[in-house]
Chain A
Amino acid sequence: MSESRNAILGKLRAGRDAHPLTPPESDFAVLRNKRWDGAERMERIKRMMEAVHTEFLETTEAGWPADVQAFLKAQGTRNLLFGPATEAGARLSAEWTEGGPDLIPYADRVETFKERLFDGIDAGITTTLGAITDTGSLIVWPTPEEPRLMSLVPHMHLALLRADALYDTFWQAMTENRWADGMPTNALLISGPSKTADIEQTLAYGVHGPKRLVVVVIR
């Protein structure tokens, strides 16, 4: 194995050293200059995400748990997967009232939870690190408290988005927050519900992941 490694690297080095390549400078101005103002950002994010079937639920810092519960109840959702150890999770369980969908904590390792996760969960709720104006994308970094599959396996994904956490571009979000200093296990951009156009270019939603993505905008 390391024989191949050394052979490959040796060949590459010899090839490059015989014919060095001087690349042109990378000018990021085209990304640096992409800017939107205050309200324009949210409008654009909404427009872009709605164009790919994302739904939006407007709410407030004080009222979001109740609004989420009322929304899910109206949809006939049976249960909601959440991360009990997050701040948002603590709010949800504290403010969840009787008679709504069941709150189900993602508290165990997936090995003991897989069957239930794939077969019995209607919706999952996660936080986000913000959203990207340029492309209409949510930034989601799963954590031990909010595991990766919460935003993937349930049929509906609800994502909490604070209206003041908006970035112009993907590049801006990663450079401003110095992502390169420490990437998480899995960082994600999510820009809509799962979709495909593999059958004769016809768009169909929910092919593998969530069929619905609901962005809960907290102002």
Chain B
Amino acid sequence: MGETSINFAKASSAALQDQQLRGNFRRAMDGLMSKRAVQFADTAEWNGVRTLGASVRLRALSKLPELLEKLEANCTRNGIQVHWASTTDEANAIVLSIMQRVNAKLVVKGKSMVSEEMHLNAFLEKHGIESLESDLGEYIVQLDEAMPSHIIMPAIHMNTKQIAHLFKQKIKEAEYTEDVAQLTDLARRVLRKKFATADVGISGVNMAVAETGTLCLVENEGNGRMSTTVPPVHIAVMGLEKVVEKLEDVPPVISLLTRSATAQPITTYVNMISSPRKEGEKDGPNEIHLVILDNGRSGIYADEELRNTLRCIRCGACMNHCPVYTKVGGHAYQAPYPGPIGSILMPQVEGLEKRGELPHACTMCNACVEICPVKIPIVEIMGRLRSEAVHPGDAVKGAGSHASKAEAMVWKGWSMTYASPLAYQFATALLAKLGNAAPASLPLLKEWTNVRSKPRFANRTLHALAREKGIPDV
């Protein structure tokens, strides 16, 4: 991804023209929403586990520095080597130095959002290391040389036919088929060889337990287990917020995560890794490395309100329920994290100069807040970021970068009008008389009237009508 600012408006308007893409998303999201509703049909249970999950995440945040130290101490005691990275560049360099030390040529990767954030594949390739995504969705996206469009279902934007063509084109031994079982089997054959020969396995971390020094990974496919068990070296990368205090905090979070993400009571595999291969054990990696990444998170943490962003358990439910995301799809956000969580996380991580448009990719409908299993006030944070974008000097990187003189003047005029009864009366009377004469093609109005009818002003103001009824102005 380039360093230039991202144009969500342009990308989303292109996505809206793509009927195929819209159909693919609509179908998938409708299915996920209704299946998820079944999982949480018992409202008392949903409220109970959601409150518990939110408390687990908040407790972890309230002790974050101590828990990270404890995690480090317990991992180290267990034989896991812990590394700290302030930036993605530093994290990439740590990963590379481990690879170079073991002379690694091939890496198999389980799904990891943090590695997307690091653009790790491209980085490793630049250094002559083949980095192969092994989650089927990620593998498809990698073959397509594209970006994931959803944090749980990376290839959700493609249909079977498109994947069938892609496999035929990119995999040597592929016969063209639209049979999903056969396509899956083909991927199994290709990837099994890679698991068996890879020098290093890379994974993300769904949760790291400070109390025991345990890395938890949830997945359905088994590629995560393969990547963390077969190669002689395992490198796990995680954002620093992923820690929880105790082992008993894991079950409620996993329950919320799997049910919210894919409407499963649990995933096929819950993998809890606490150490590299011990004396006498016959398999498992000889080395495990944990890379803890900051990349702006400590800055987010410093602000009381924005800190709530770090509660996120990456379930993706907010995207599945977002009226904007479900129309335009994930690619329009041009970010590793799309949808509502991406719209608040990306500007905080990468700065408002580059990502300041994303908090506007929201109708403030609150659907994400209602669905979020750990009760993140996404919409409030969205509002805060909109304001940070135009007010210089506040908490978020790039604050003030979207300030425009014209906008500031409009708001100033607006507040003056509302502060003075005389000005207000004059302005509303003027709109009642002349507002309807304004052509639909006026700038700003044009954007609205493109797809909607022009708003009509009543020819008498509310104040005038009230006066007629004998209600005096205050």
Contacts and interface: CB of A to CB of B under 8 A. Distances in A.
B383 interface: no
B52 interface: yes
B316 to A, nearest CB: 13
A45 B163 CA distance: 35
| Chain A to chain B: the 5 pairs with minimum beta-carbon distance, closest first | A209-B222, A30-B48, A15-B302, A198-B137, A23-B58
Nearest to A144: B280
Contact of B270 (A106, A137, A200, A206): A137
A206 B58 CA distance: 38
Contacts of A124: none
Contact of A23 (B59, B250, B278): B59
B254 A170 contact: yes
Interface stretch (B178-186, B355-363, B458-466): B178-186
Contacts, number: 269
8 contacts: A8-B84, A8-B292, A12-B301, A170-B266, A187-B272, A199-B140, A202-B180, A208-B195
A171 to B, nearest CB: 4
Contacts of A189: 266, 269-270
Interface of B: 24, 27-28, 31, 45, 48-49, 51-52, 54-56, 58-59, 61-62, 64-65, 68-69, 83-86, 90, 94, 134-137, 140, 153-156, 158-160, 163, 180-181, 183-185, 187-188, 191-192, 195-196, 211-214, 220-223, 225-226, 229-230, 240, 246-252, 254-255, 262, 265-278, 280-284, 292, 294, 298-299, 301-304, 307
B352 to A, nearest CB: 19
A4 B68 contact: no
B211 A15 contact: no
A205 B184 CA distance: 8
A1 interface: yes
A61 interface: no
Contacts of B265: 48, 134-136
Contact of B252 (A25, A31, A210): A31
Given A118-B192, A170-B251, A209-B226, A147 B282 contact: yes
Interface stretch (A71-79, A94-102, A173-181): A173-181
Interface in A84-117: 106, 108-110, 113-115
B272 A186 contact: yes
Given A26-B52, A183-B212, A188-B270, A8 B184 contact: no
A196 B221 contact: yes
Contact of A12 (B68, B134, B155, B248): B68
A149 interface: yes
Nearest to A18: B302
A45 B50 CA distance: 24
A191 interface: yes
Contact of B283 (A24, A110, A184): A110
A14 interface: yes
B271 A204 contact: no
A105 to B, nearest CB: 11
Contacts of A20: 62
Contact of A24 (B51, B136, B269, B271): B51
B135 A198 contact: yes
B274 A199 contact: no
B68 A199 contact: no
Contacts of B254: 170
A149 B283 contact: yes
B267 A191 contact: yes
B248 A194 contact: no
Nearest to B211: A180
A202 B160 contact: yes
Given A8-B84, A8-B86, A8-B240, 13 more contacts: A11-B299, A11-B301, A23-B61, A30-B45, A30-B48, A109-B282, A110-B230, A171-B252, A186-B271, A186-B273, A189-B266, A195-B220, A209-B268
A108 B45 CA distance: 47
A204 B49 CA distance: 30
Nearest to B79: A185
A66 interface: no
A26 B55 contact: yes
A115 B196 contact: yes
A36 to B, nearest CB: 14
Contacts of A69: none
Interface string A2-36: 10110111011111101111111111111100000
Contacts of B54: 24
Nearest to B229: A148
B200 to A, nearest CB: 15
A189 B274 CA distance: 14
Interface in A143-177: 143-144, 147-149, 152, 169-171, 174-175
Contact of A9 (B69, B195, B211, B277): B69
A9 B85 CA distance: 11
Contact of B298 (A11, A108, A135, A193): A11
Residue from A21, A114, A202 whose CB has the most chain B CB atoms within 10 Å = A21
A134 B45 CA distance: 13
A19 B302 CA distance: 8
Contacts of A198: 135-137, 140, 153-155
A180 B302 contact: no
